[in-house]
Amino acid sequence: MSDPILSVHNLVGGYGKMTILNGTTFSVPSATITTIIGPNGAGKSTVFKAIFGLLKLREGKISFAGRDVTNLSQRALLNAGICYVPQGRNIFPELSVRHNIELGGVAAKGIDLPTRIEAALDLFPALRRKSTQQASTLSGGEQKQLEIARSLLLEPKLVLIDEPSIGLSPLMVQQTFDILQSLRDRGVTILMIEQNARSALEISDIGIVLELGQTRMVDKAERILNDPRIGQLFLGGAMEESAA
């Protein structure tokens, strides 16, 4: 496995007096898909907020591409090559598909925006077909693809993507995961959070199990998939259910 592009070490932080991250530590190898799984409330989204500078840490260190990026601003993190696709729908419904993609790059100086938009559309044939339509007319899966396309305009090295499969049909989930795999094959590192644990681990290189703000397991995704303890860790046996 390649060297880590991202390392988080002993992260401690939360909301007000509430501590959510309790010494979270893991590394993400370059050009892999790494998926974080864990029960509701484990702190998965909070880790992403910490990495993307949306949550000030009380302790810990985040290194990216050999550089300390702890508590940097979002602008600085975007410039460093990290982008973040949050949970839920985050598009501008009234604007066209193309215009939504363009917004991913407008703040950047000195980039060839039309070329980057074309490169993003090349990866998403459905978006190309509908590029002049209002984004509100896209299906849920296409809207998620639009968010991913927009996030690529700054040519990130690392994409943080939080539960991309929520609300999507199994076919759209598979299409979205296919896109993540093709990005990985182009050298982009993907760090994903997924409740749809089995499907996500099946396309991942590394799995991380987070519980109560602590890393319980980091291993090859295949080993996590086959680990009998995972069902128990999932409080309700999410893995067992999906395996049934």
Residue ranges binding ligand ATP (CB under 6 A)? 15, 20, 38, 40-46
H or E element in which residue 13 lies:
strand 4-15
Nearer to ligand ATP by Cβ, of 90 and 133: the residue is 90
SS3 of 151-209: the string is HHHHCCCEEEEECCCCCCCHHHHHHHHHHHHHHHHCCCEEEEECCCHHHHHHCCCEEEE
Nearer to ligand ATP by Cβ, of 10 and 15: the residue is 15
Q: Measured from the CB of residue 44, what is the shortest distance to ligand ATP in angstroms?
A: 3
Distances in Å between the Cα of 28 and the Cα atoms of 2, 33, 151 are 9, 9, 19
Q: Measured from the CB of residue 38, what is the shortest distance to ligand ATP in angstroms?
A: 6
* DSSP for residue 134: B
Nearer to ligand ATP by Cβ, of 50 and 138: the residue is 50
Nearer to ligand ATP by Cβ, of 177 and 234: the residue is 234
Three-state SS at 15 = strand
Q: Measured from the CB of residue 2, what is the shortest distance to ligand ATP in angstroms?
A: 27
Query: Which residues is 37 bridged to in the sheet?
Result: 209
Nearer to ligand ATP by Cβ, of 149 and 209: the residue is 209
Contact between residue 118 and residue 56 where contact means Cβ atoms under 8 Å apart: no
Q: Measured from the CB of residue 133, what is the shortest distance to ligand ATP in angstroms?
A: 31
Q: Measured from the CB of residue 3, what is the shortest distance to ligand ATP in angstroms?
A: 27
Q: Measured from the CB of residue 201, what is the shortest distance to ligand ATP in angstroms?
A: 15
Nearer to ligand ATP by Cβ, of 43 and 156: the residue is 43
Which of 81, 97, 80, 86 minimizes the C-alpha distance to 136? 97
Contact between residue 172 and residue 141 where contact means Cβ atoms under 8 Å apart: yes
